[in-house]
């Protein structure tokens, strides 16, 4: 279905009420995020990704961006990233996520951590400076950093993403293709991308133990990931029945509320102890 867009070329009176409402909501969201950036009300919420072979073992964590509103309420990325990603404020969000993720890796030397970024941030001077400074001061840090890029973002500028990945993989940084199966990636690009990790979109994981369509699609996506030597992670695992089905299917890692919800107060921050992944 074609999206309704409020264009600057359309007179106010001719713009649909829905388009105006969406545009106004985006403006309010951008203002909220800009204020959060200015006042330091940004946090990473950490969610464990466990090994399918032994779900008591954590393979790595994902750091998910959160904004705190003035009252302290935690607002998830899905409620604001759509409005800000295409703007420069989206680049600032990526910078903050990277800086917080790198600080966590420094303070928790046994952790591996995935940090989300948009392909639009490739070449953004501030983002690059944050990463280069951390790698210079802390040799080997890159080997515990995973950068997650969604399918939709990677397909914006695939050739640039390929060169970017080649450059940073040489320094030990791994890359995860997020939301795989959402329908954006041309299969022909998978050979060029060389992602280390594939995360199967939760749409095909929920109720997989009883949904024949999801079973077929997830098996196909898993086969593609294995063919290209990617570690395969199932997202949105919320029930034991789904987890057991995915284990039998051969998925490498599991992520979802069954194993831990994202939290801005991870165990190591609460206890002050160093966490072992």
Q: Which domains does the chain have, with CATH numbers?
A: 42-271 (3.20.20.450)
Radius of gyration (C-alpha) of the chain in whole angstroms: 19
What confidence tens digit (pLDDT) does each residue in 131-167 have?
A: 999 999 999 999 999 999 988 888 888 899 999 999 9
Is the confidence at residue 2, as pLDDT, over 50? no
Compute, in degrees rounded to 10, the torsion defined by CA atoms 94, 100, 105, 108: -150
Contact assessment for residue 146 and residue 197, using Cβ atoms and an 8 Å cutoff: yes
pTM over 0.75: yes
Q: 267 or 230: whose pLDDT is higher?
A: 230
Number of separate helices (H) and strands (E) present in the chain? 10, 9
- Tell me the backbone φ, ψ of residue 207, rounded to 5 degrees: 65, 25
- Name the pLDDT band for 1 (thresholds 50, 70, 90): very low
- Name the pLDDT band for 181 (thresholds 50, 70, 90): confident
What confidence tens digit (pLDDT) does each residue in 183-236 have?
A: 656 677 788 899 999 999 999 999 999 999 999 999 999 999 999 999 999 999
Contact assessment for residue 146 and residue 174, using Cβ atoms and an 8 Å cutoff: yes
- Name the pLDDT band for 6 (thresholds 50, 70, 90): very low
Rounded to an integer, the average pLDDT of 65-92 is: 90
pLDDT score recorded for residue 52: 98
Q: State the chain's mean pLDDT as an integer.
A: 89
Rounded to an integer, the average pLDDT of 167-181 is: 94
Contacts of 29 (CB under 8 A, 6+ apart): 79, 80, 83, 84
Q: Where are the beta strands (DSSP E) in 108-230?
A: 113-116, 145-150, 174-180, 197-200
What confidence tens digit (pLDDT) does each residue in 79-102 have?
A: 998 888 888 999 999 999 999 999
């Amino acid at each position: 279905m074609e999206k309704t867009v409020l264009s600057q070329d359309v007179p106010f009176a001719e713009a649909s009420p829905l388009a105006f409402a969406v545009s106004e909501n985006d403006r309010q969201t951008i203002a909220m995020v800009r204020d959060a950036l200015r006042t330091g009300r940004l946090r990473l919420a950490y969610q464990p990704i466990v090994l399918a072979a032994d779900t008591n073992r954590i393979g790595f964590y994902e750091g998910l961006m959160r904004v705190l509103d003035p009252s302290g309420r935690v607002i998830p990325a899905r409620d604001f990233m759509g409005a800000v990603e295409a703007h420069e404020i989206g680049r600032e969000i990526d910078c903050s996520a990277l800086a917080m993720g790198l600080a966590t890796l420094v303070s928790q030397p046994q952790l591996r951590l995935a940090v989300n970024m948009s392909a639009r941030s490739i070449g953004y001077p501030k983002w690059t400076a944050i990463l280069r400074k951390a790698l210079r001061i802390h040799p080997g840090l890159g080997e515990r950093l995973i950068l997650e890029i969604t399918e939709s973002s990677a397909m914006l500028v695939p050739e640039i993403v390929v060169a970017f990945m080649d450059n940073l993989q040489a320094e030990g940084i791994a890359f995860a293709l997020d939301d795989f199966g959402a329908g954006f990636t041309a299969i022909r690009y998978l050979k060029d991308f060389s992602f280390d990790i594939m995360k199967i979109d939760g749409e095909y994981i929920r109720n997989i133990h009883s949904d024949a369509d999801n079973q077929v699609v997830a098996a196909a996506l898993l086969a593609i990931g294995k063919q290209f030597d990617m570690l395969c992670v199932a997202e949105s695992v919320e029930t034991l029945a789904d987890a057991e089905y995915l284990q039998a299917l051969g998925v490498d890692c599991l992520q979802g509320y069954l194993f831990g919800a994202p939290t801005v107060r991870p165990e190591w921050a609460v206890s002050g102890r160093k966490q072992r992944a």
